[in-house]
Structure 1
Amino acid sequence: MNWISNYVRPKINSLFSRREVPENLWTKCPECGTMLFHRELSDNLNVCSNCNHHMQISPRDRFAALFDTGVFVEVPVPAPLVDPLQFRDQKKYPDRLRAAQKTTGEAEAMLVAEGEIGRTPVVVAAQDFSFMAGSMGMYVGNAIIAAAERAIQRKCPLILFSAAGGARMQEGILSLLQMPRTTVAVEMLREAGLPYIVVLTHPTTGGVTASYAMLGDVHIAEPNALICFAGPRVIEQTIREKLPEGFQRAEYLLDHGMLDRVIARGDMRDELITITRMLMGLSPVVAGKLPPPGDTAHTKDSPAELAEKILDAADEKP
């Protein structure tokens, strides 16, 4: 037995060898530069504990925090034809799809689920900005239609979390056709007398803002979310003028009457429970406790009319 090679050398190597540390233990806040421990950031729903900057969050993590006990069931979405235009730029469109699927672990840019929040049955759809910038293609149109049909079938509200860079250029005119398709889906909910609540997250732009993202009975936004059709840089270059500070951000739109609420992500669940139960004519939550399951009979007012009354009453409070 060689004592030096079998004992001394491995001992020295273990002392001086570099330990491998996972690269994703810390995240730097893009707003204030604070280094945030991954577990602390996850527990805070991807919101910076120093400056309250709301970072991107995946639909599954959002659903886990939104639904009662984090339990939800995915709603199946019909798969559209892949690459109908045979589009290719630097990469083939199917290659881009496969890369996005590998990165996010999701099939497409929108996830639809059903479950309960505050013991109120709801259907929720959420866009994933990490999947090709949450771009609106045929799958997203199919997802919103599937969500609306499921909400009508269950006679429950539809809540949609938008986050998109606009229409998907690889699908050309077919992506733009999702604007009228999703508008028809929203109209189906209105005809059924069911609430449609939109939560606009950062960023919501382009054809998404010009269609289903601004057709809700109630519009809520996360703090400092960019919400627009054309971005501020494009507008500045067009009109050759400096835009006001905070232009097209959630707080600016709230002050100018385009939003009903700006709610922090940590308070979003309680806010949605309150609004959905009011719009469905159910008893309110008392002291943060889940109410017993109740009758989901509708009030005589339409969701849009009832939502307006609720918001007016809230604004009148001192």
Structure 2
Amino acid sequence: MKIKLFLAASLTALLCAGNPAGADMFLKDGFDGYDFAPEGGLYYKENFEQSAGTVEFQRDVAVSGGALKLTVRPHCPPAGKSCSERAEIWEKPDLRVPYDQGVWYGFTVKFGEPIPQDDHRYLIAQWKREIDPGAEGDFSPFLALRLRQGKLFATVETNYIAPQATPAAATSENSAATCATGQTPVWLRPKTNQMRALVATDATWTPEDGALFSSCTAAISVTNHGNPLPSPDSGWVDFAIFTKPGPDGSGHIEIFANRKPIVTVKGHIGHADKGLGKNQYFKFGPYRAANKGEWTLYYDNFRRSPYCEDVLHNGLCPAL
């Protein structure tokens, strides 16, 4: 027992001291205790938007042992158009991964009832680049798992690149673009020097759901492996995701869900603007634009590693 206590205390001290090899560490937390495990490297960030959320270490809803229950409630002022409501769990800054380094993340999530059926910019997990103090601009996550009208989808963001071709005609003016082979539906945002690509959806997604993605880009390629994202009402969903941003076109993302390959994404991924930091970081939990009512998500089995085998088991790891 003394040895275990000593090791735990030593690991905690190492994490807090800013271990320069932190990006190479295997992090995991099964949320079986009454606080974040020291070997997980996670924390609940305190700020105004996060004050809309609550975090509960509970055992009533879990894959095994315990799990996190994260809930957001209304808290934005009536005129707060840009206000958000969050209950997100963050990686500790000293353990973040360099922006140009690939890393695997895994976590299991379950949607609490009721599952939102509207569109209030719902996110359940997001990967971003650090922003230095004083940097101009509001940079979207380079990868995000999102919910719209009860449907799960994933997006990839990068700097704006003018399209080289006109998309084929959509089925209606309110539908997503129909893109040629090698191109990906994208929402162009030149005023913010960004564009957002639609890279994966669940089986209930329709062209009308993706009407925002009305253009096409060859700067981001998506290989679909024949498996849609699981439906939000299907119970526990286990994600294993590889992220390696590359705004210069060297980016690479792999998304697995419930041990099935969903998509491989390559090309221009992430941002290269002035004033951005040297690291990427991950955060998970309910995030939405200001709304009524409560929204709850449950999370279990967080892990992060430079090695796929620590996150995705049973010989499923792809060749990178």
Question: Shorter-chain TM-score: what band?
Answer: under 0.3
TM-score (normalised: structure 2):
0.25
Higher RCO, Cα 8 Å, sep 6+: 2
Point out the structure with the larger helix share.
Answer: 1
TM-score, normalised to structure 1's length? 0.26
Larger radius of gyration: 1
Normalized per residue, the structure richer in strand is 2
